[in-house]
Structure formats: structure tokens, C-alpha cells
């Protein structure tokens, strides 16, 4: 994943988007140079994420930041998680951006943690991963929230690894041909993953030299059968087996029992419920 400089740049863009030429409400109502404290509270049970981003926003806007809870910890209703101090006008200007980020990132972290815990109760070796089904412009933070929740962010962008999907296979004429072309062209430093739709294609991909085989939209029974066939053929230990497609809290445990290595869940970043937080601002007495 990309690092802190990208996050800082994105957060500056978000601030500019929100502030534009100024906060006309705050400028009309709040005296200048009045100091205060803004405390962010959780309004329900959630895994906290996004505090690091709030700290960056505070630094950009001249506010002091105090983290009251560690990211990745469960928080309860009414629990204070972050405290900001500085000019009241600035606190009011950043309130919504800070809350939006914490709400969305905590929602993703909470969903991720819930699914990770269900999988770990069955098989500690199975990884729960995200996908690239993310919001344009917010991917960095969504992927980081998955990490905070205990999941794997998966690839960040198209240049991270080779992922041969069904449309690639259709264009080149088959699973084996796609893998052979990729192996001949791409650097040895990049892993090659191939999406397959059935057990036969999985065997072909393993024999052709894929590093990762992505079982797409297979039932748990079909995934189990594929794992068993690859084991019998002496191919199972050659590849990382990943499954994705239609996986949610209701069926993830069934997939975790199949012998798979990775369960990728697009819903982590596109079908979560944002956690609820609010900020209370108090003027400091002189």
C-alpha cells in the first residue's frame, strides 16, 4: 500500500473541497481567537479506525490532537475516542470531515473484525481480504480500515500483481494461454493470480504455473471439491487458493471450512454500515 504522503495529500484535498472560500456559518457566529475542545464520542459499539487521519487533519489545521482509544479497539456507546483542542472556529470547520472519516473507516473496520473473528473460530490460517471494490478517491483509507479490522487489504492498484480475470481469459483464448503469456512477459517479482470458474480450470491454472488461483463464485461444496482434487493431483501445495463472490457474514464460515487460504470479500468496502460518532465542542473559559 502507498504511505503517509498520499494520505496527507488526500486529506488536504478533502479539506479544500469542504472549506472552499470559507465557513460562512462559523465566520458569522463565532468570535475569532476563542479556544475550545472538541471531543468525538462513539454512539454505538464499533471498532475504532480513522483516528490517525483525524490527527493529520488536526496538524494541518493547527489543532492539538489527543487519542483516547487505540485504533482497532472496540468502543461502546458514549465512549470518548478523540479529543481536539484549539480555536473553536477551526474545530467547527473540521468537525464533519473528521466525523465522516471516522464513521466510514470504523464501519469498515467493524465489518472486517466481525468476519475475521468468525473465520478464526474455524481456521486461524485463513486470511480475510478486501478487493478493489472501493470508492474512487477514498481507497487508501478503506484499505487501511480493513487492516485496522484485522483483514488483508489485497492489491491496492493494477500494478501490484497480475490478476487474470475472466475477460482476460476470453480475450486470449484460455486459462493456460493467459498464464503462459503473463509468465513470459511480467517480472519474476510479480505474483500471478488467475480467476477460474470450476475445478477443471483450477487444475489447468495450477499446472500452468499460477501462484494464486482465485475460485470465483463457487459454492462451498464446489470449493471443497476443488481443494480435494488439487490435493490428489499433487498440486495443492504449489498455489495459494483464494475464493470470492457473494461471500457475507451468513456464509463465510462455510467457506472457511473448505481448506481455502484466502477469502476475499468485496462487501467489506462496499456494503458496510458506517459507524455512528458525534463531536461535542466546548468553549474554554479564560
Between 27 and 242, the more confident residue is 242
- pLDDT of residue 98 exceeding 80, the answer is yes
Q: What is the pLDDT of residue 246?
A: 93
- pLDDT of residue 1 exceeding 60, the answer is no
- pLDDT of residue 184 exceeding 60, the answer is yes
Domain locations in the chain as residue ranges: 4-107+273-283, 117-270
Q: What is the pLDDT of residue 266?
A: 96
Residue 242, φ and ψ in degrees, nearest 5: -120, 145
Give the pLDDT band (50/70/90) at residue 32: confident
- pLDDT of residue 48 exceeding 80, the answer is yes
C-alpha cell at 263: 477469502
CATH superfamily of 117-270: Aldolase class I (3.20.20.70)
User: Distance from first CA to last CA of the chain, Å, rounded?
Assistant: 45
C-alpha cell at 257: 471450512
Q: What is the pLDDT of residue 134?
A: 96
Q: What is the pLDDT of residue 4?
A: 79
Alpha-carbon distance values, 180 to 115, 234, 245 (Å): 35, 20, 25
Q: What is the pLDDT of residue 3?
A: 57
**Cα 137 versus chain centre, distance:** 13
Dihedral sign for Cα 247, 251, 254, 256, please: positive
Question: In CATH, what class is 4-107+273-283?
Answer: alpha beta
Q: What is the pLDDT of residue 49?
A: 98
Using alpha carbons, select from 127, 109, 129 the residue that is nearest to residue 264. 129
Q: What is the pLDDT of residue 33?
A: 87
The conformation of residue 284, written as its DSSP 8-state character, comes to: P
Cα separation, 164 vs 5, in Å, equals 30
How many other C-beta atoms lie within 10 A of the C-beta of residue 227?
20
CB distance 163 to 155 below 8 Å: yes
- pLDDT of residue 286 exceeding 80, the answer is no
Which residues share a beta bridge with 188?
none
Cα separation, 178 vs 171, in Å, equals 9
Q: What is the pLDDT of residue 2?
A: 47
Q: Buried b / exposed e across 9-36, counting CB within 10 Å, b at 16+?
A: ebbeebeeeeeeeebeeeeeebeeeeeb
Q: Buried b / exposed e across 129-155, counting CB within 10 Å, b at 16+?
A: bbbbbbeeebbbbbbbbbbbbbbbbbb
What integer is the mean pLDDT of 18-28? 92
Using alpha carbons, select from 108, 102, 96, 116 the residue that is nearest to residue 143. 108
pTM for the whole structure: 0.94
Q: What is the pLDDT of residue 95?
A: 98
Over the chain, what is the mean pLDDT?
95
Place of cell 512477459: 185
What integer is the mean pLDDT of 111-135? 95
Amino acid at each position: 500500500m502507498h504511505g503517509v504522503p498520499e494520505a496527507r495529500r488526500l486529506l488536504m484535498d478533502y479539506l479544500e473541497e469542504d472549506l472552499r472560500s470559507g465557513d460562512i456559518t462559523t465566520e458569522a457566529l463565532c468570535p475569532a481567537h476563542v479556544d475550545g475542545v472538541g471531543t468525538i464520542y462513539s454512539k454505538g459499539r464499533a471498532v475504532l479506525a480513522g483516528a490517525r487521519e483525524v490527527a493529520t487533519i488536526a496538524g494541518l489545521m493547527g489543532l492539538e490532537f489527543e487519542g483516547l482509544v487505540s485504533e482497532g479497539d472496540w468502543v461502546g456507546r458514549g465512549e470518548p475516542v478523540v479529543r481536539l483542542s484549539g480555536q473553536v472556529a477551526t474545530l467547527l470547520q473540521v468537525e464533519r470531515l473528521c466525523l465522516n472519516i471516522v464513521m466510514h473507516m470504523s464501519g469498515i473496520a467493524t465489518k472486517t473484525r466481525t468476519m475475521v473473528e468468525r473465520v478464526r473460530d474455524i481456521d486461524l490460517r485463513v486470511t480475510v481480504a478486501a478487493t478493489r471494490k472501493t470508492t474512487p478517491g477514498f481507497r487508501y483509507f478503506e484499505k487501511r480500515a480493513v487492516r485496522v479490522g484485522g483483514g488483508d487489504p489485497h492489491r491496492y492498484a493494477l500494478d501490484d500483481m497480475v490478476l487474470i480475470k475472466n475477460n482476460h481469459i476470453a480475450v486470449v483464448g484460455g486459462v493456460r494461454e493467459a498464464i503462459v503469456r503473463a509468465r513470459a512477459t511480467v517480472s519474476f517479482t510479480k505474483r500471478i493470480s488467475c480467476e477460474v470458474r470450476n475445478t477443471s480450470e483450477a487444475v489447468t491454472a495450477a499446472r500452468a504455473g499460477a501462484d494464486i488461483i482465485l475460485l470465483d463464485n463457487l459454492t462451498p461444496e464446489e470449493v471443497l471439491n476443488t481443494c480435494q482434487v488439487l490435493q490428489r493431483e499433487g498440486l495443492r501445495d504449489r498455489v495459494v487458493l483464494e475464493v470470492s463472490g457473494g461471500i457475507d457474514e451468513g456464509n463465510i464460515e462455510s467457506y472457511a471450512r473448505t481448506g481455502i487460504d484466502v477469502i476475499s470479500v468485496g462487501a467489506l468496502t462496499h456494503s458496510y454500515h458506517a459507524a455512528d460518532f458525534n463531536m461535542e465542542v466546548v468553549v474554554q473559559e479564560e
